[in-house]
Structure 1
Amino acid sequence: MAFDFDFDLLRELTEASGVPGYEDRVRDRVRTVFDGAVDEVRTDEMGNVIGTVEGSGDYEVAVAAHMDEIGFMVKHVTDDGFLKVDALGGWDPRVLRAQRVRVHTQQGDLTGVIGSVPPHTLSEEEREKDDAVEDVVIDLGREPEAVEEVVSVGDLVTMEQSTVKMGDTVTGKALDDRVCLFAMLESARELEDPEATVHFCATVQEEVGLRGAQALGVDVDPDLAIALDVTIASDTAGVAEDKQVTRLGDGAAVKLKDGSVITNPKVTRRLRDVAEAEGIEHQLEVLPSGGTDTAAFQKANGAKPVGAVSIPTRYLHTVTETAHGDDIRSTIDLLTAFLASEDGGHDYSL
């Protein structure tokens, strides 16, 4: 049952390029899916996409998952034709050496590589130096004049990677947060005749400070908000159990806290109750640091009850992010069951 969902759509979403503020390609695909699944689709001035399913009652719920992925913006082209970049989102520079990238220019996409000096030529001091994003140099394999003709300051850079099945898991780039975006879209397609009006929100610029959700929380102003994002699954060799946060294959993760939010205890309890009643595999998430759109919705337009469901993911913020197929399915099922049973009659006041 590990791949009981539309893998082709998941692959399209994750392989698409869309750094913060430039989510166009992902946004186009989201709108296409929404067109056949919701009652109304709109895009705001920041680029957030809202697909609304009208309910029979007055209660309104917002569900959020972000479209953007971490990447880079070109800040300088050297006289030798190499590119220097500025980070868009939080990179661990250790994973960047010798990676293949895609540079998005006005004349089309170019393949490049992040250079790495062979260890044979490094001094002892150079070998001990910590990697830094500011040291990244991108090689396009072209003469300087050819690079200057096609690349400009402000062009965008994303990692080049395919998304594939690996055993019971899916691995590739940008599962953060496209795997949750996918789960939200699948829920929108599966939800039938809800009592609550549901605004499915594909947000922008999460990786640079939850900016899209902050604005959207004011515009949509829901009675309840549920955010979807990936979470750490460091269930690998050499990591102590208390540092693992979640485990692949143990189900959708119901968030209790992260570095930006403490979820509403009553919302969390109801998510757990729904999962138990429906026999949906789930686990609890206590994430020491990091933030999600949940926090933006909690206080964007006054105090709001919020909850969050996460998909456990290994190797976050790399090109080999990995999630378990059953956890993806559990997240879709939990979100859909929760929304189907939300009638506005639950008291989330504390």
Structure 2
Amino acid sequence: MDDDRRAFLTDLLTTPSPSGFEAVGQRVWLDYVRDFADDVWTDAYGNAVAVHQGGSDVSIAFTGHADEIGFIVRDITEDGFLRISPIGGADRTVSKGQHVTVHAETPVAGVVGQTAIHLREREEESYEDIDAQFVDVGADDGDDARELVEVGDPVTVETRVRALHGTRMAARGMDNRVGIWSAAEGLRAAVEADVDATVYAVSTVQEEVGVQGAKMIGFGLDPDAAIAVDVTHATDNPDIPGKRSGPVELGEGPVVSRGSANHPSLVDLARESADAAEIDVQLQATGTRTGTDADAFYTARSGIPALNLGIPNRYMHTPVEVIDTDDLDAAAELLGSVADRAADAAPFGVDL
């Protein structure tokens, strides 16, 4: 990954964007893609779109979701502590003892409280639900806290982007900054190749709370096909339960999903495009649902052919998600290859 693309990824990862509060992150993405897109625009809820206008009437969308999990201030106690609720699938087992930022009018530093090990009843230990946890911002009392924050302010864990050995990276929010990074770079590849198809790059909102942005975009944009790029579980770390272990490994390439929402013609197009570009891909079974924006696209309107393209990710929904940038580079190259072949592959339908 070259320096400019790495800097773009780092900018995305260091810009908090919890579901329902994505505007700041969307500005980062739009500022980047407008340098090479033919046009960019947003809708009422902040879904962001950039386009390469091709010469054919075939269109394909490369999408990722901009939002991340987090918390929201539910109540402010008279003692000056903040009671919180989850935004999306926040993991109660890793939230205590974390530095956080409350995104009030002026950002406020805080920590999720954790009683010292010396003072806990060890035999009765359990993981409290997020609703039972609290944030300490250092306020003296409730009035002091209310001068700083309001009910409804979002909260995110404060972490760093760290380079690990080789091409591995760790950060909060890989899910799904890597998806919107890939969508942008896939669009760039399509622009540079001046492909015949019209190609949309889309950064959706509110995936973590029910693929809501994709529902809006699927109806409004109505592309001929959509590829949703999102993280998928890498199953190559030692504590994966045996029944959940599978073939997905970091550094072995993007993951083409098969089953459920994944349209057979797009699965074939992705695999053929990978072969043509000499890109290694992995396969994953999704028998019921993908858990991504692809689930919204394939039922939009009268059905938009959809595919979930996965980026292997360790420790999903924790502050230390780990990916391999080689997989990201390969995903962007694969999307460029798909864009180049999309006009000839259309129409996308099941052969009966």
TM-score norm. by structure 2 comes to 0.93
Residues 63, 179 of structure 2: 8 Å contact kept? no
Pick from 131, 138, 154 the counterpart of residue 134 of structure 1.
Answer: 131
Q: What is the identity, as a one-letter code, of the residue corresponding to 2:205?
A: V
Change (3 A) 1:331 1:4: farther
Asked if 1:68 corresponds to 2:67, the answer is: yes
Asked if 1:94 corresponds to 2:93, the answer is: yes
Pick from 151, 163, 166 the counterpart of residue 165 of structure 1.
Answer: 163
Q: What is the identity, as a one-letter code, of the residue corresponding to 1:248?
A: L
Q: Give 5+ residue unaligned stretches, structure 1.
A: none
Pick from 249, 252, 257 the counterpart of residue 250 of structure 1.
Answer: 252
Asked if 1:212 corresponds to 2:189, the answer is: no
Instruction: Report what 1:174 is aligned to.
Output: 173
Pick from 106, 110, 113 the counterpart of residue 111 of structure 2.
Answer: 113
CA distance in 2, matches of 1:303, 1:187: 23
Residues 210, 293 of structure 1: 8 Å contact kept? yes
Give the paired residue count: 344
Instruction: Report what 1:338 is aligned to.
Output: 338
CA distance in 1, matches of 2:346, 2:222: 18
Instruction: Report what 2:203 is aligned to.
Output: 202
CA distance in 1, matches of 2:128, 2:286: 26
Change (3 A) 1:267 1:345: closer
CA distance in 2, matches of 1:243, 1:166: 25
CA distance in 2, matches of 1:91, 1:214: 22
What does residue range 21-36 of structure 1 map to in structure 2 within 5 Å?
21-36=20-35
SS of aligned partner of 2:252: coil
Give the CA deviation at 1:346.
Answer: 3.4
Give the CA deviation at 1:5.
Answer: 6.7
CA distance in 2, matches of 1:244, 1:47: 37
Give the CA deviation at 1:123.
Answer: 2.1
CA distance in 2, matches of 1:26, 1:264: 30
Change (3 A) 1:301 1:170: same
Give the CA deviation at 1:190.
Answer: 2.5
Change (3 A) 1:244 1:344: same
Change (3 A) 1:234 1:269: same
Change (3 A) 1:337 1:306: same
Residues 252, 282 of structure 1: 8 Å contact kept? yes
The percent identity for this pair of structures is 32
Q: What is the identity, as a one-letter code, of the residue corresponding to 2:176?
A: D
Instruction: Report what 2:306 is aligned to.
Output: 306
Q: What is the identity, as a one-letter code, of the residue corresponding to 2:117?
A: P
Q: What is the identity, as a one-letter code, of the residue corresponding to 2:11?
A: E
After superposition, the C-alpha distances for 1:88-108 in whole angstroms (9 at most, x for unaligned) are 1002200111011110111x1
Deviates more, 1:89-98 or 1:235-244: 235-244
Q: What is the identity, as a one-letter code, of the residue corresponding to 1:295?
A: D
Change (3 A) 1:7 1:244: farther
Residues 3, 326 of structure 1: 8 Å contact kept? no
Give the CA deviation at 1:189.
Answer: 2.1
Residues 168, 324 of structure 2: 8 Å contact kept? yes
Residues 254, 283 of structure 1: 8 Å contact kept? yes
After superposition, the C-alpha distances for 1:35-73 in whole angstroms (9 at most, x for unaligned) are 111111110011100111100111111121000000111
Give the CA deviation at 1:124.
Answer: 4.5
Deviates more, 1:180-189 or 1:155-164: 180-189
Q: What is the identity, as a one-letter code, of the residue corresponding to 1:140?
A: V
Give the CA deviation at 1:271.
Answer: 0.6
Q: What is the identity, as a one-letter code, of the residue corresponding to 1:251?
A: G
Deviates more, 1:130-139 or 1:208-217: 130-139
Q: What is the identity, as a one-letter code, of the residue corresponding to 1:141?
A: G
SS of aligned partner of 1:218: helix
TM-score norm. by structure 1 comes to 0.94
Instruction: Report what 2:267 is aligned to.
Output: 268
CA distance in 1, matches of 2:258, 2:292: 12
CA distance in 1, matches of 2:120, 2:273: 57
Q: Give 5+ residue unaligned stretches, structure 2.
A: none
Residues 50, 201 of structure 1: 8 Å contact kept? yes
CA distance in 1, matches of 2:222, 2:308: 17
CA distance in 2, matches of 1:41, 1:340: 21
SS of aligned partner of 1:95: coil
Residues 3, 325 of structure 1: 8 Å contact kept? no
Change (3 A) 1:330 1:241: farther
Instruction: Report what 1:123 is aligned to.
Output: 121
